[in-house]
Amino acid sequence: MTAADGKIIKPGGTIGVLGGGQLGRMLALAGRNMGYRFVTLDPTEDAPCGQVADEQIQADFDDVEAARKLAARSDVITYEFENVDAHVTNILMNESYVPQGSELLYTTQHRLREKRAIEAAGVPVAPYAEIGSAAELGEAVVRFGTPCVLKTATGGYDGKGQWVIRSLDEVEEAYETLSRAKTELVLEQFIHFDKELSVIAARSPRGEVKAFPAAENIHVHNILHQSIVPARIPAEVQQEAEQLAIRIAESLGVIGLIAVELFLTKDGQLYVNELAPRPHNSGHYTMEACRTSQFEQHVRAICNLPLGSTELLIPVVMVNLLGEHIEPLQSLIDQPGFLEAEDLGVSAKVHLYGKKEAKEKRKMGHINLLASNVQHALTWIERTSIWESK
C-alpha cells in the first residue's frame, strides 16, 4: 500500500455494485475498459448493470445472505443509489472493503442532516425549518413567505415527496399528505433562481480532489431534461461553484463522487440544494465531452488510483430520453443527418440503458450532443420531434 490512506485496488480486481440500474451499468462499462471485473446485486432480473457485469446476484437489497455473497466476491464495493439499507451497509463494511463508508450515506439519506453538514462546510443553503406539526408549518410559511417547499426528510426523487405551498390555505393538506411518509419534514424557503447548476466532484483516499465543469440544468416536470456545458454563466461563478463542491467533498470526507446541485440567483448568489454521493444524471455529459468520464473517475477514486483530468474537450448538451421518447428516437435514428448533423456541426452520441419496458417518465437513456457551441446542440434538439411530448 503506497497511497497515504486506504488500499489500492489495481485492474484485475472485482468491483461489487449495490444496485443494478443505469448508473451501475455505465460504471461497469467504464471499469471493464480499465480491466476490472464486476458483480452487481439487484432484485430485477437482467438488470441494466447485470447485462454488462460478470455476475448479477438477483436478490432484494435487504437480503443479508445476498449481501454476504456480494462481499465475498468483491475486492471493493460501491453503490449506485443512496437509499441503501443500514443493516446491509454494516454487513458489507464488516466483510468487505467499502471505501465510501456509511457515514456519508447516513448524512445524505436525510435532508436535515445533509443541510447541517453543508452548513458545517461553510457553504450556503436555502433557509429551512424542521417541521413537526401543522401549526409549526403554518408559522414557518408565514416566516418564509410563499411559495415555499415542504419535503420529506427521507426518500423522494424527481419531485416526489414534495409539496410547493403557494398559500396558507394549503398548509393543513400539505402537512397531512407528506406526514403519511412517517418521517421528519423540512420546509425550504423558495429560491427565485436564475439557473440550476450542478458540479460533480471526486475525492480519493489519497486526499486528491477534482471537480468537473459546472453543468447548467433544465428540468421538466421535476425530471432533468438537459445539462448544458459549459454553463451559460460568468467564469467567476463557474469557478466558485466548483470550489464549493470541492469544499463539500473535503469537509464530508467523500470517497468517490459527490454531485452538488445548486441554485444561482440573479444577483450571483449560489445556494446548495441537494447532494448525491454517486455518479449523477447531470454528469453524463462527461462520457464523451471530458478527458475522463464521471464513471471512470469514480472507479479511479474508490480504487485509490490517481484521478483523471476533468478538462472539457468540447461543448456538449446532454438530453434525457424518457419512456415516451424511445419510439420517436427509433423512428429517426437511422435517418441521414440525425446522428451527424453536418449543417450544425453536431454529433449525437446515443446511450440506451437496456431497460425492458419503456414507461412514461422513466429514464431510458440519454444523448450527448457534441458541438462547436451549445447553441448548435440546442438547435438540434429543437428541430427534432423527439421531445415534443415531454
279-304 pLDDT per residue, tens? 999 999 999 999 999 999 999 999 99
How far apart (Å, rounded) are the C-alpha atoms in residues 215 and 199?
Answer: 6
How far apart (Å, rounded) are the C-alpha atoms in residues 40 and 19?
Answer: 6
| Residue in the structure block whose three cell numbers are 448538451 | 317
* Binding-site entries for ATP: 111, 151, 156-162, 188-191, 196, 219, 273-274
Tell me the pLDDT band of 1, cut-offs 50, 70 and 90.
Answer: very low
Contact 292, 31 (CB under 8 A): no
Residue type, 16: G
Written as nine digits, the cell of 357 is 419496458
CB-based contacts of 359, cutoff 8 Å, min separation 6 = 323
How far apart (Å, rounded) are the C-alpha atoms in residues 45 and 29?
Answer: 19
Burial class (CB in 10 A: 0-12, 13-18, 19+), 63: middle
How far apart (Å, rounded) are the C-alpha atoms in residues 133 and 137?
Answer: 6
Tell me the pLDDT band of 2, cut-offs 50, 70 and 90.
Answer: very low
At 161 the pLDDT is 85
Q: Alpha helices, DSSP H only, in the chain?
A: 22-33, 64-73, 86-95, 103-108, 111-120, 134-144, 171-178, 235-251, 286-289, 294-302, 326-332, 374-383
pTM of the full structure: 0.94
Listing DSSP states for 73-85 in one string gives H-SEEEESSS---
* Binding-site entries: 111, 151, 156-162, 188-191, 196, 219, 273-274
Nearest to 283 by CA among 298, 272, 271, 301: 298
Mean pLDDT, rounded, of the chain: 94
At 6 the pLDDT is 75
At 124 the pLDDT is 96
Tens-place pLDDT, residues 305-362:
999 999 999 999 999 999 999 999 999 999 999 999 999 999 999 999 999 999 999 9
At 357 the pLDDT is 92
**What mean pLDDT do residues 81-103 have?**
86
Written as nine digits, the cell of 329 is 428516437
- Helix or strand (DSSP H, E) at 200: strand 193-203
CB-based contacts of 80, cutoff 8 Å, min separation 6 = 17, 18, 19, 20, 21, 23, 24, 27, 49, 278, 279
| Residue in the structure block whose three cell numbers are 440506451 | 352
How far apart (Å, rounded) are the C-alpha atoms in residues 122 and 219?
Answer: 27
How far apart (Å, rounded) are the C-alpha atoms in residues 84 and 189?
Answer: 29
Name the phi and psi angles at 245, rounded to 5: -65, -40
Contact 347, 317 (CB under 8 A): no
